[in-house]
Amino acid sequence: MTPAAAVPRASTLRQVDRLFRDRPVVPLVALLALLVLLYEVARPGVVGPTWASGIVAFAIPLAILAGCQTLTMLTGGIDLSVGAVASMAGFVTATFVAQPGGWELGVVIALAAALAAGLLNGVGVGVFRVHPLIMTLGVGLVVLGLANAWQIATVTSSTGVPEQIRTLGSDRFLDIFPYSLVFFAPLALIILVGLRRTGYGRLLYAVGDNPIAARLSGARAWQVLVVLYMISALMAALAGILLMGLTNVASVTLADSLVLPSVAAAVIGGTSIMGGRGGYGGTLVGALILQVISALLTALGQPEAVRQILFGAIVVLVAAAYTRVTAES
Amino acid sequence: MSAAATALGEAARPLDAVVGMVRRNGWALALLAFLALLLIFTKVIQPRYGVAGAQALAISALPLALAAVAQAICVIGGGIDLSIGSMMALTSVIAAVQMKGQPEEFGVVVVLAVLVLGLILGAINGAVIVFTRVPDIVVTLAMSFVWAGFALLVLASPGGGSAKWLRDIILGPFLNEWIPKSAIVLIVTVGLVWIPLRRSRLGLSIYAVGSNRLAAFRSGVGVGRTKIAAYALTGLFAALAGLGLTASTGIGTPVPGPYTLTSVAAIVLGGVSLAGGRGGVLGPIVAVLILQLIRSDMTFLNVDTNLAIVAQGAILIGVVMFGSLLQLRRARR
Amino acid sequence: MTADPELLLDASDVAKSFGAVVALRSASLAVRPGEVHALMGANGAGKSTLVKILTGSVRPDRGRIAIRGHERTVHSPGEARRNGLVSVYQEPALIPDLDIRANLRLTHTPIDGFRHWINELGLARLDLSRHARELPLASLRVIDLARALSIEPDVLMLDEITAALPANLTERVLEVIGRQKGGDRCIVFISHRLIEIAAVCDRATVLREGATVGVVDVTRGSEEQIVELMLGQPVQGIAAAVRDAASAAPTDAPSRLEARGLGHGTKLVDASFRLGAGEVLGVVALEGQGQDELFDILAGAVRPSGGELLVDGRPVSFGHPADAIRAGLVYIAADRAEALLMQRSVRENIALPYTARLPGWGLIDRASERERIDRAVTRLQIDARAGNEVRRLSGGNQQKVTIARWVAGGVRTLLCFDPTRGIDIRTKNQIYQLLRELAAAGASVLLYTSELKEVQLACDRAIVIFGGRVIAELDAVDADEPALLRAAYNLRAGAQIPEAIAAKAVEATLARGDAPGPPPAAVAADAPADPVGEEGAAR
């Protein structure tokens, strides 16, 4: 008899727990598959490459914003300014369409503005040790207000979503492959590899897991955090520009409705808001899960309301499950 | 001798007691002074500012002030509630739907039922936090989806109605044209609930749990029970704020307004420590008035109203950064 | 021994583990009515855990607790209070943001009784409207005690009540405790100060490594017996092997680290010593004599308020631990929760210092990292089977990981703060051996230890800190446990049962009740109680 066969059945639950804890991506992918199956049952014949590419295209801006939340949550923080920064970036880009310099200049200016917002966040959180929730909330208000003021200032000039960005955001190569994926895949890869294989990625975990240990090992948390919130703002800006291309809308509140789902995607993906635990792989699956649920509910003719209730319930249940399996000894 | 005596916390002269009181409530007093200055400033830049302005200010501030009180209670208890805006939306639409076209007396039943509902919603938030041990911020963020979803189920687009008496108790002046009814409503509701609560054992327990959970536990406080009670009270005030919305607009709106985040801003400005255990409800209410007045002032000054949002964010950032700086310096000493 | 119905409190075979750390193995405590009963033991013997279990703050894994012959299970401090068990903890259980009056109401304390006791304890003019946050620790302790006394519990447990109290308050407190003798109730008194034990206690229960090792009647001369029980049997066998390595230490090596009059606030007044290359220097002190501050300064975690620090003969000033690390000073904490990334892997924990500074932020060379870490894991014999998450390792293995972090890259000066606290004897020996090997290879080690026998096992010399000053320096040969203990209590060597003599002096003072007695040392801090078990309970 092999030792494996000798394992009593009672420990099956424990093994599921351990799987959930050590490889949260596996049960999440299973959940995703289950949801896709449900969709196929609800709308037979729809699930296919075209359907999938639509899901992916719509999930990408959410996945990028959820990346902002993942990175900041790993350090025990959160970035609630991503909605305002993303919307601002898209809108600023759109206002430069008819200006000398064109939308390209707009992108540069938008990214610079986003970096400035990120710097402010980072200085507040890292140097002044303001609670990240409050700091990013305040910076979000400032960015929103400034974007609004910019809107008034540029009301006379024409605004529009640049052709190229619309292509990048919503068109598909061979009708299957979203162009935005070409843009997103390298970004996702950088985040995934960066978290695992770079010293900076390790430090994000270290600062979030145990700031005292990180400090005693010679890490200066403020450096880590200032850079982190700048990265987060930059990613948010890119997400906003993509979202504008996807929806063909430029508005200063365009991405606001994605802020809470972005936190939800990270939480579902197994990133702990207390810091030190999680990763981007889970977040990607989390964003896809949210997107498939949305699609499923739309297919079933359920109103937006049901989607929200379900999102909320899932986040609580998943977070409770993670808390249970990780709270041993 | 006196130095050594006070160092050990012994009684000092009465004047010192006053000084101590002022020091402890210094922030709220400073805010009040600032509000007074701001009112004078408003009168200077807009000589016609008067009765109508005060009325508008009081009515527009009522829901937000109640939301800030709601947020203050759970933050004092060591938590944070990101679902206040959604609970307001849910209670507001339920009230509006139930009251539309119904006799006035039925409105009383609806109001009482909605208040009980608020208590229940809050208690659910608290119970989920206590029993799942998931951080407050995650639970209430998720619950904000849930409550907002239910609000949309109740009413898909703005509509419904309000009993006339409910509108009447917040609109218009009271006794003197300078005293808006909504201000009286605010003072009465907060006074009826908060002041007895603060002196009760439950109130003490909420402060205790927020201030130092371990010490509270060792003092025999039921930490979980207290937390649930604090969230239930938050729900109650969110329901009051929701009713305030219905009363002031005459309809129910299912989409949550910016109340959650603004309530956080208001309590931070109002001197409630996000770490818990410190602050009261006066500061946040004054902070709400200041934020609203700054907004009107900017209109009077012909400043882009959007810059008012910038100002609000900048004030929030400035105050918390300054506060943190003071704390850091104290820690370093 | 049969159960005695006359006992007021009877706890037996109580055990408790926090994860991999065993806090209590098998503790028992039996207290009679009218008794002031001392609970004694070295650091980490489990006194505080036992008190927390008795008052419902921590749930025991095993054990039986009976009050007046009735078995009781207490789940919370509130329930313990209703059963007549009240404790005054090292950190006062007063809510910082409430005033004293509100604190009393919160705990249903009769205000008149409180007034009476606070007068007795010498804080008659306390202003009840002051917030607890505004009061100094000493006052809070006394307030907490007065509150507990006015509840009139059957069993009152006092955990280091006199620590951090100024001399006059200590006297009043001891006097009040002494007057409680003979009634129907009892007091369990925890203290490190033998003088106080001798002055107020009837009997003493001694804990060692989580188990009760004896109950002693406190009479003149029993202090020696208590000390013997606390120390336990000397470890034999391993000593020889470790000492062989030690004997090779050079005597006049160049100075690696030199402290001149280092100070920090009131806790650390004047720390002066020299640590040579290739030397292991022991630091011995009772709890809270300034050693925490000294190590914090050396590790760059806090700035000294005075004095000078020289590394390799050059004065240095550390603004951040990174500065200390660059100067070759690395810190190993007793509290693994302070040093480790509990949710991360062994590999990440060991590699942490390499990624900490800006140049290490880039891509990690996985091959060389693996080689380096494997080397460290092998050298320290770390059992990394549960290596995905460090928190699942045993206490000993966790401590090895914190050491491996620094040894992996070669080390010049190691600052060890009680590195063997709460870990098993085998790992302890491995750590002693490792320190000796490192010293033999030219590294310098500063080793604070709460286990006095470690000094002769691992050190070349030892310094003793008392009241924030280095008051003695001993060669390892002379640094046997009695000598160190005497020095740590600041007693002159060779004096006959000095504690008893001092105790008599205290008794005399208490009897007279006026003149200032010999001031008991008042420079003890409250050690942070382990929050693990209780945090969970408090949710």
DSSP 8-state secondary structure symbol assigned to residue B61: H
* CB nearest A276 (choices: C333, C337, C344): C344
Residue C189 bridge partners (DSSP):
C38, C158
pLDDT of A328 above 60: no
CB-hemisphere CA count at 13 Å for C474?
A: 26
Interface test with B, best of A315, A317, A322, A324 (most B CBs within 10 A): A315
Please give the angle made by the CA atoms of B202, B206 and B207, to the nearest 5 degrees. Answer: 120
Q: What is the pLDDT of residues B107-163, one digit of tens each?
A: 899 999 999 999 999 999 999 999 999 889 889 989 998 999 999 999 988 888 888
Q: What is the pLDDT of residues B252-309, one digit of tens each?
A: 988 887 888 789 888 988 888 888 888 889 899 999 999 888 888 888 888 777 777 7
Which chain B residues are Cβ-neighbours of C139 within 8 angstroms? 8-9
The bridge status of strand C186-190 relative to strand C36-41 is parallel
Cβ pairs bridging A and B (under 8 Å):
156
Domain ranges of chain B: 50-257
State the pLDDT at residue C190: 87
**Residues ≥6 apart with Cβ < 8 Å to A67:** A187, A188, A191, A235, A280, A283
Which amino acid, residue A136?
A: T
* CB nearest B148 (choices: A308, A323, A327): A308
pLDDT of A12 above 80: no
Which chain A residues are Cβ-neighbours of C352 within 8 angstroms? 202, 206, 213-214, 217, 219
Is B133–A124 a contact, with Cβ atoms under 8 angstroms apart? no
For chain B, the 3-state helix, strand and coil shares in percent, each to the nearest 5, are: 75, 5, 20
DSSP C493-511: TT-SSHHHHHHHHHHHHHH
Per-residue pLDDT of chain C (539 residues; tens, 9 = 90+): 444 557 889 999 999 887 666 788 899 999 999 999 999 877 667 888 898 898 888 889 989 988 888 888 888 888 888 888 899 988 888 999 898 999 999 988 888 999 999 998 888 888 888 888 888 888 888 999 999 999 889 999 998 887 767 777 888 888 888 888 888 889 999 877 777 888 889 999 988 888 888 888 887 767 777 777 776 654 444 454 455 545 544 556 788 899 999 998 878 888 999 999 889 999 988 777 888 899 999 999 889 988 899 998 899 999 899 999 989 999 998 878 888 998 888 888 988 888 888 888 888 888 888 888 888 888 888 877 767 788 877 777 888 898 888 887 778 899 999 888 767 777 888 888 888 888 888 899 999 987 777 888 888 899 998 888 888 888 888 887 778 877 777 765 444 334 444 444 445 444 443 333 333 333 333 333 333 344 444 44
Q: Which top CATH class is C238-328+412-488?
A: alpha beta
C138 touches B at CB < 8 Å: yes
The bridge status of strand C85-88 relative to strand C155-159 is parallel
**Phi–psi pair at C426, nearest 5 degrees:** -70, -45
Which tokens belong to C40? 């004694």
**Phi–psi pair at C276, nearest 5 degrees:** -90, 165
To which residue do tokens 């680290």 refer?
A: C257
Domains and CATH numbers, chain A: 46-324 (1.10.3470)
Helix (H, G, I), strand (E, B) or coil at C17: strand
Of residues B23 and A142, the one with the higher pLDDT is A142
Find chains touching chain A: ≥3 CB pairs under 8 Å.
Answer: B, C
Of residues A155 and A214, the one with the higher pLDDT is A214
Which chain C residues are Cβ-neighbours of B208 within 8 angstroms? 95, 98, 106
* CB nearest A146 (choices: B261, B310, B327): B310
Q: How far is CA B46 from CA A79, A141, B307, in A?
A: 39, 27, 19
DSSP B4-31: HHHHTTB---HHHHHHHHHHHTHHHHHH
Burial A195-227 (b: 16+ CB within 10 A, else e): bbebbbbbbbbbbbbbbebbbbbbbbbbbbbbb
Classify domain C9-95+146-221+500-538 by CATH number: 3.40.50.300
ipTM for the predicted complex comes to 0.82
Is A134–B308 a contact, with Cβ atoms under 8 angstroms apart? no
Is C20–A205 a contact, with Cβ atoms under 8 angstroms apart? no
Chain A from 188 to 207: CB within 8 A of any C CB: 197-200, 202-203, 205-206
Which chain A residues are Cβ-neighbours of B312 within 8 angstroms? 141, 145
- Grade residue A7 by pLDDT with cuts at 50, 70 and 90: very low
User: Residue C235's CB: how many other CB atoms inside 10 A?
Assistant: 16
Q: What is the pLDDT of residues B182-212, one digit of tens each?
A: 888 899 988 888 888 888 989 999 999 999 9
Is B9–C130 a contact, with Cβ atoms under 8 angstroms apart? yes
Which chain A residues are Cβ-neighbours of B146 within 8 angstroms? 308-309, 312-313
Nearest-neighbour CA in chain C from B156: distance (Å): 39
* CB nearest B8 (choices: C103, C108, C136): C136
* CB nearest C362 (choices: A198, A216, A220): A198
Q: Is C184 exposed, middle or buried (0-12, 13-18, 19+ CB in 10 A)?
A: exposed
Find chains touching chain B: ≥3 CB pairs under 8 Å.
Answer: A, C
- Distance (Å, rounded) from C-alpha A274 to C-alpha B134? 10
Q: What's chain B's Rg over C-alpha atoms? A: 21
If you average pLDDT over residues A34-63, what whole number do you get? 90
Domain ranges of chain C: 9-95+146-221+500-538, 238-328+412-488, 341-410
Nearest-neighbour CA in chain A from B71: distance (Å): 14
If you average pLDDT over residues A208-228, what whole number do you get? 93
Q: Are A121 and A229 in contact (CB under 8 A)?
A: yes
- Distance (Å, rounded) from C-alpha B318 to C-alpha A135? 10
- Distance (Å, rounded) from C-alpha C153 to C-alpha C85? 6
**Residues ≥6 apart with Cβ < 8 Å to B191:** none
Is A209–C391 a contact, with Cβ atoms under 8 angstroms apart? no
- Distance (Å, rounded) from C-alpha C475 to C-alpha B19? 57
Is C97–B24 a contact, with Cβ atoms under 8 angstroms apart? no
Which tokens belong to C98? 């409430």
Chain B residue with minimal CA distance to C531? B214
